[in-house]
Structure 1
Amino acid sequence: MWQRGHTAIYTNFDTYPIWYLVLSVILVLIIQDTLYYWLHRWMHLPRFYRWIHRAHHMSLQTSAFTSFSFHPFESLLQAIVLPVLVLWLPLHIGVILAILLFMTIASTINHGGVEIYSAKWAHNSSAKWLIGAAHHDDHHKKFNYNYGLYFTFWDTWMNTETPDFKERFEKLTTKHKSV
C-alpha cells in the first residue's frame, strides 16, 4: 500500500516541519495508549478473557519474555493500530521505526519484573505518568488494575490504578536504593 501511495507515510524530512516529527510520535503513542487501555479492559471481561487474554496472564511473575506472550488474536488487536494510523496520519518512515523500537523497549521494561525507575520518578511532573515494571506487575498480580500501556493517564482518570500504588512504589524504590 505504501509503494502504491495509499498511506500517509513519507520519507522526505522536508515534507513537514521538524516539530511535526515530535508531535507525530506523541500523537501515535497517546492514540495507541488510549486504544490499548480500552481494549485491555475489554479483554478482561470474563467471556473474552478466557478466549483472548488468559494466555498473557499465565505469567504471574513477569519477565522480559512475558512481553511477547500473547494469544495470536490479541497480538493482532494490539498490532493493527499502527498500520491503520499510517492510512491517514502522516508519519515519516523513521518515526515509524522509532515507535516500533519504543514499543518493544517499553513492553520489555514493563514486563521485566525489575523496576528501573527511581522514587524520584513518582514526584517528577512528567515522568510520574510513565508505566514501569512495578505498575504492570500490579496488573498481573491484582488483575483489575493498571490497564495502561505506556502512560498512567487512563488508569488515573478512570480510577483503575492500584489504590496504594504510589506509596508502595516509593517504598519499593527507596528500599532497593538502600540495599
Structure 2
Amino acid sequence: MASLKAVPLMAFLTAVMFLGEVRGYSKLYDNMDEYGGVQFLAFSFVTFLLFTDMCIYWIHRWLHHPLIYPLHKPHHLWKLPTPFASHAFHPLDGFAQSLPYHIYPYLFPLHKGMYLLLFVFVNLWSVGIHDNDYRLPGFLQPIINGAAHHTDHHLKFNYNYGQYFTLWDRLGGSYLHPSGYSGTGPHEQVKQHLARQNGGAKSNGNGVASKKSD
C-alpha cells in the first residue's frame, strides 16, 4: 500500500525531469557515432554507475540526519525489506534519491538507448537489494552493495548507505560487513529459533509419551 501511494507522485516528478531531458535541455543524443560509438557507451555505463552511486550515498546519508529523517522513516518501517519496500518511500524521499539518475544526462553526454537501459537497470537493482537474496560470488561480496548489505542497513540504520558499491561506505566510515555473510543475519536467527522450537516440541512429545507408557 505504501508503494502504491508513493509511486504516482514520484512518477509525476520523474516525468517532469524526462520532459526536460527529451526537449533538448540535456545532453542526451541519438547517433552513436557522435561520441565514439560502442566504446563511449561502455564508458557511459561505468561513469553513470560511479556518479549516481556517489550522489545517492550522500543523499541517503543526509536523509538519516535527525532533522530530515522523518521524511525517510517510512521506508525503515520494514526492518526486513521486501521487493515491495523498494518503492515504499515518502514521495519526496524517493524522488530525492532518484535525482542523480536525471542529473547525469544534464551534465554528461548519454545515448538515449543507454539511458533507457540504465533506468530499467536501476529500478531492478532497487528491487534486488530489497529481496533478501544474499547470493553473490565471494570475490564480489566486499565490493558490491547487495541485499545482505542493505538488509543490515534496514536493521541498523547508520551503515551501508551505498547503492551499488561499498566504496563510499568505506570512505565515509559507514561500512558494516553484512551479518548475512557471517551466519548471524536475521534469517539465520529465525532458522535457529525455529529449530530450537521444533527440538523442544519433539522432546516434550517424547516426555509426554514416556509418562503415558509409565
- Cα 1:54–1:2, aligned 2, differ >3 Å: closer, same or farther? closer
Which one of the candidate residues 98, 116, 119 is aligned to 1:97? 116
1:158 is displaced (CA, Å) by 1.7
Q: Is the 8 A contact 2:51 2:104 kept in 1?
A: no
Deviations 1:42-92 (A, max 9, x none): 111111101x10011011111111111111111221222222222231100
Q: Which letter does structure 2 place at the counterpart of 1:86?
A: P
Which one of the candidate residues 47, 50, 56 is aligned to 1:36? 56
Which ranges of structure 2 fall in alignment gaps of 5 or more residues? 1-19, 189-214
Cα distance in 2 for residues equivalent to 1:2 and 1:71: 24
Which one of the candidate residues 115, 125, 142 is aligned to 2:134? 115
Percent identity of equivalent pairs: 33
Residue correspondence of structure 1 range 50-69 to structure 2 within 5 A? 50=70, 52-69=71-88
Secondary structure of the 1:5 match is: helix
Secondary structure of the 1:80 match is: helix
Q: How many equivalent pairs are there?
A: 166
Alignment correspondent of 1:143: 157
TM-score by structure 2 length? 0.71
Q: Is the 8 A contact 1:119 1:169 kept in 2?
A: no
Higher share in helix: 2
- Cα 1:143–1:167, aligned 2, differ >3 Å: closer, same or farther? closer
Verify: 1:47 aligned to 2:73, yes or no.
no
1:4 is displaced (CA, Å) by 4.2
Deviations 1:101-126 (A, max 9, x none): 2101211111101213143533xxxx
TM-score by structure 1 length? 0.84
Cα distance in 2 for residues equivalent to 1:3 and 1:38: 27
Q: Is the 8 A contact 2:56 2:100 kept in 1?
A: no
Cα distance in 1 for residues equivalent to 2:66 and 2:56: 18
Which ranges of structure 1 fall in alignment gaps of 5 or more residues? 123-127
1:3 is displaced (CA, Å) by 4.8
Q: Is the 8 A contact 2:148 2:181 kept in 1?
A: yes
Verify: 1:106 aligned to 2:125, yes or no.
yes
Secondary structure of the 1:129 match is: coil
Q: Is the 8 A contact 1:119 1:170 kept in 2?
A: no
Compute the RMSD of aligned alpha carbons.
2.1
Q: Is the 8 A contact 2:148 2:180 kept in 1?
A: no
Cα distance in 2 for residues equivalent to 1:76 and 1:121: 29
Cα distance in 1 for residues equivalent to 2:149 and 2:22: 40
Moved over 6 A (4+): none
Q: Which letter does structure 1 place at the counterpart of 2:158?
A: N
